[in-house]
Structure 1
Amino acid sequence: MSRSWQRKVQKNQTQINKQRKKHGQAPLMSAKSEKASMDTFKGRSYLMPAFLLLFILFYVIVTTTSDSFKPDDTMFWVTIGLYVVLAGTFTLRRPYLSVGRDFVRSRRFAGDRDVNISNVKGITAQKGYVIIEQHKGGNWVFSRVMNRYPTEQIAVRLKAFAEQHGIPYTEK
């Protein structure tokens, strides 16, 4: 289903539930119960913040040892502060993988992305890695080393997901 269709369904469902509540009837299945049926696996991003902090350190060393450096330069400190904020944002904004009824959702650089079962070509699991192969777009790689994902638990859940929808699943 497209996202706009899901929004229309959810909007209509909330209106009907309000009417049913006024008449003393039980509400229809809500979007909250759909979210409860999703399994979410969270990782921890530490490589990108570490890279940014090393970059800041390199920038400070190169800039302060330069002959043309002025210690009262405001843009220098603003730049350092913004890189620290960016590193903090990457640290606090944890990557995740959610497995729903008929889709898989993950956080990418541009935001949250969904992959429906019609776009999943196959799922590959190996020690420390889980790869979701797509027909269109790049493969999604969930790594124990890069983002501290619980890959063993993800592999078990995605195996059940693949069997449920007839998606090829391989273990290496």
Structure 2
Amino acid sequence: MSRSWERKVRRNTAQMNQKRKKQGLGQLVPDSEKVDRFRGRNYIFPIVLLLIIAVYAFLSTGSTQNVGTTWTTIGLYLLLALMFYLRRPYLAVGADYVQTRRMFGDRRLQPANIKAISVQPGYVVIQPVKGANWVFSRLLYRYPVDEMKERLSSFAKLHNITFEER
């Protein structure tokens, strides 16, 4: 299929989805574009930021100079903690890719770039051919590891990727 045809199909599907959304109906999603998205919750880094804010506020209470700067700094740290809490980490498993959010943007791996997938109680590890492992933890980020295990096992079987369950 040509790329221009694929763009037309995507554009028309997006238009139909907007119309269906206005009518209160579900979205049309082609089978090739179905994506399972597993969301976690980042709560450890915001807690660390709140502790830093508390220490900073405690140490700066005795000083009367630059009160505005102190409160601006505290407010910005609170905003940063809120941003990290609301920006939920995820693992998206599509028909021919896995995608996640890293510190500086989304990262996507095609099946040819995945060496192995291993699952342990509370952890899922995706080992890319090049680069650091992707670790999804139930303890740190509250990922639904059991659901992820089922979907990643079918993804691994479909693309002949080594799948280890420990």
Q: TM-score range by the shorter chain?
A: 0.7 to 0.9
Partner of 1:105 in structure 2? 99
Gaps of 5+ in 1: 1-5, 19-30
Measure the CA separation in 2 of the matches of 1:14 and 1:139. Answer: 32
Partner of 1:25 in structure 2? none
Measure the CA separation in 1 of the matches of 2:45 and 2:32. Answer: 29
Distance 1:113 1:9, change over 3 A: farther
TM-score normalized by structure 1?
Answer: 0.79
Task: Give deviations 1:101-129, integer Å, cap 9, x for gaps.
Answer: 11001111111111111110000000000
Task: Give deviations 1:75-125, integer Å, cap 9, x for gaps.
Answer: 111100000000000111111111001100111111111111111000000
Alignment of 1:1-172 (within 5 A): 11-13=7-9, 17=12, 32-33=29-30, 37-65=34-62, 69-70=63-64, 73-172=67-166
Q: CA deviation at 1:11?
A: 3.7
Q: What is the identity percentage for the equivalent residue pairs of Structure 1 and Structure 2?
A: 42
Q: CA deviation at 1:33?
A: 2.6
Is the contact between residue 40 and residue 90 of structure 2 (CA under 8 Å) also seen in structure 1?
Answer: yes
Gaps of 5+ in 2: 14-27
| Paired AA for residue 77 in structure 1 | W
Q: CA deviation at 1:36?
A: 5.3
**Greater C-alpha Rg:** 1
Measure the CA separation in 2 of the matches of 1:152 and 1:79. Answer: 41
Query: Secondary structure of 1:133's partner?
Result: strand
Partner of 1:26 in structure 2? none
Length, aligned pairs only: 152
Measure the CA separation in 2 of the matches of 1:85 and 1:122. Answer: 38
Query: Secondary structure of 1:64's partner?
Result: coil
Measure the CA separation in 2 of the matches of 1:72 and 1:141. Answer: 43
Is the contact between residue 32 and residue 95 of structure 2 (CA under 8 Å) also seen in structure 1?
Answer: no
Distance 1:83 1:40, change over 3 A: same
Task: Give deviations 1:30-69, integer Å, cap 9, x for gaps.
Answer: x95368511111111100110100110011112224xxx1
